A and B are shown apart, each in its own frame.
Chain A
Amino acid sequence: MKKRVRKWASLTISGAVIALLAAGCSGGGSESKSSGAGAAQGGASPSAATSAGFAYDGKGPVTDKPGTLKILATNSWYNNVDLAKAPIVQEIAKRAGVTVDWELLAPGTYQDAINPRLAAGRDLPDIVYNTDQDQTMKNIQAGLFVPLNEYIDKYGVNVKKMFEKYPDLKASLTTPDGKIYYLPQLAVTKNYMPLWMVNVKWLEKLSLGEPATLDEFTEMLRKFKTGDPNGNGKADEIPMTMDPKFLGMAFGTSFGLDLSNLFYADDGGKVHYSYYEPAYKEYLAYLNGLYKEGLLESDYASTTSDQVTSKFSQDISGVTFNFSWHQSMTYSPLYKDYDPSKPLIKGIAPLKGPHGDAFYLGRNPITGIFGVSKDAKDPELAFKFLDYASSEEAKEIYAWGLEGQTYTVADGKKQFTEQGKDNDFIQQFGINPVNMPIEQSVDATDVLVAPWHAQLDKEMEKYIKPPYPFIYALAEEASVENTIMPDITTYTTEMEAKFITGKESLDNFDKYLGTLKSMGIEDVLKGRQAQYDRYLAAGK
C-alpha cells in the first residue's frame, strides 16, 4: 500500500510541471462540463500549501506530496470484514494519493466509544466520523472541528456539486451563523426504505388479499395465528415478528405519527412531538390490543433481527417490518420453494389508519458526518481527501466496486459479475464502505436485487414521506434540550412499554401528557419550532 502511494506521489511530482496540462486534460475527458468548470475554478484559486503548479481539480490525486491522514470511523457491520483492508477503500486512498492510517471501531457502539474521546478533545485524528450529527452543536461550540467554508470555496469541487444537487442538504448542514463544519454521508431517501412485508404463500393459503388498511392487517394477523398457514398441523405460528426498533416506525405512520424521528412538522409548518399527540393514544390502544390478543409477541421488546430471520427460516412467522433490501436478499431465499422470479416475502403498500393516514417514512438523507478536527496537521489535505471521496467517481466505486472484478460494462450498462453478486465477497471487497462519505446508489441496488423487487420498489416510491429535516439548534435551545430531553426520553420509552403491555392503563394517558408537560416538553417544542422556522426561511 505504502509503496504504491509513493509511486503515485513520485509520478505526480515528476509531472508537477505539467500539472496545469493535467487539469486541462481531466476537464476535457469523459467527465461532464461542470467538472471542467470546477477544475478551472480550483486551478484559479491560489493554493499556498501545496507546491506551486499543483492544483487539486476534484479528481485524484489530491496532493503532489506524500501525505498521511489519520481517520477515525466505523468499521463494517460484518464482523469478519476489516474495511481498512478492503480493496474499495484502498483504491480511493490510492487514487487520492494519500496514505490513510485508519482507526476503525465497531459500528454498534461507535458513538458511545468516541464521545469520551471528543470530550477530552486532545490528539484527535485528522478526520473524525460521527453518527451523531451534533444537532445541539456541542462539538462545534467546543471548537473540536474546523469550519470548512473557506476550503469549500477554494477546493470543494465535488462538495459544491453535491450541494447544488441537494440544496436541502446544504441548508441542513449550515449552522445558524452560516458556517459548515461537516460533510455528509448519504443514504437514498425514497428507495428501499423500511416497509411491511408479508408471506405471499400464507396469504394464498388462507385466500387473503394484501391488507390495505390497519383493520384488514389485524384480521390477517388473527387468521395467521389460527388458520395454520404453514400447513404443519400445529398452531406454532407467531403471526408477526420484528426488531423492536421498527415498531414505532411500522405502526406510527398509520396514525399520522413519526415515531422514528419523534418530531415532525405538519402541512401548516407546526412542529409536533409524536409522544405528545392525541393520536399517540390511539396508537398505544391499538398495540395494547395486539399484545393482549397475542398478535404482538410477548417478548417483542427483546426480539433481535437474527431471531426474525430464524422465525422466517422455520416458516413460523408471516409478517415483519424492515428495510426493503431484506425481501429478496435475506428473507425470500430462506424458503426452499422460493422461485426468484416471483416474490415470496413481499413488501406491501402502507396501511391506511383510522384517519386515512397511509405513508412510509423516508430516511434522513444524512446517515453520518465527517469533520476535520482542530488537531489536523494539514486540514487542507484532509478536506481535499474528503472532497475527492465525495466525488461521483468515488461514489461509483463505493456502489459498484472495481471494473473487471465486481462489475463489467456491456452496452454502456453496468452489470455485477458473479463475484459481485456474492454478498460475502462484496462485503469483503468493501462495497458501500461505512467509513467513507458514500452515497447509496439506487441503480446498483436495482441490478442486485431480484427484478420483481426492483419493480416493487418503484411502486412504493410514491408512499414515502420525507422525514423531519436535520436542523442545528442555537445555544439556548440546545441548553434547554440537553437539560430536559434525557429524562423525557427515559419517561416516554418506559411509558410506551407500560401502555403497550397494559401495565399502565390508558385511562392515565391524560396524566401522562400532564407529566410530559411538567417535565418541560413545551419548552423543547418551542425551540424546535424556532429551528424549523429558520430552516423554512433558509430554504426560501
Chain B
Amino acid sequence: MALLEAENVRQCFGGLVALNGVSFEVRRGQIMAIIGPNGAGKTTLFNIVCGLINPTDGVVRMDGKVITGLKPFQIAALGVSRTFQNVSLFPHMTVLENVLVGRHLHGRAGLIGCALRLPTQRREEKAMVEQASRFLEEVGLAEKAQHSAGGLSLGQRRLVELARALGTEPRLLLLDEPASGLNTKETDNLAKTLRRIRDRGITLLMVEHDMSLVMDIADEILVLDFGVKIAEGPPAQVRSDPKVIAVYLGEKENVASG
C-alpha cells in the first residue's frame, strides 16, 4: 500500500477550478516531485494534503486512513509535516525554540505539569533540548541555535523550517519549493540533505521549479497543468514525454539541458 493516496481530488475557488480530479500515490521511501507551471495547482494540492483546506471533492488517504476533513494538527499527528515556499517560522523565537515547537507532538508533559514545572517536566524539557539540537545538527545549523530565527538568511531560515519539520518525526515530509532563493552551493547541500532524509526512511513529496534538482533526486515525478495530471513516472520517462514537453517545458532543449 502506498503511504499517501489522493483520489480524484477536486478544488474549486469560486468559479476557478484549481484542481480537476487529480489522483496519485506516493510510495514509501521515495522522493516524489510535483512539477508544473505557475497556477497548475501544486501548492493547492499541498494545502489539501496537510489539511489547511478541504477539497471540494475527492479523498486523500495517509497510510490507508482518510485524512480529508481532519484538522491540520490531527494530520500532523499522523506523521505529515511540511515546509512553505515563503518559509513560515516563528520569527521572534530562537532557532532552537522553533525546532522545540516542532517536537510538540512528542512532549508528554501536561498543561498542569508545565504550569507547575514538575520535575518530570524539567527532565523532559532537557531531553527535548538535546533531541532538537540533533535535528539542528542534521541540517547543519547547530551553531545558530540561540540566534533569533527572524534574523537569519533565507537559506538558513529554510533549514530551520526543515529542522522543525524533521523534529515532528514525520513519515511524510512535504516540501514546497525548498530550493527557491538558494544559490548553487546551497542547492547542492540541500540535495544531499534530502537524500539523507529519504535514506532514513522518510518519504518526501516536493514541489520544485529547479529542474536539475528534480531530475537529480526525484524517484518519481508528477506533472500538473491547469489542475490536471498530465504525466507521472520516473524522471527519464517524464523528461521524454511529448505532452510534458509540449505543455510544460515548451522546448525539448530545455528538458535536456535543464
> Are A and B part of the same complex?
no
Q: List chain A positions with a Cβ less than 8 A from chain B.
A: none
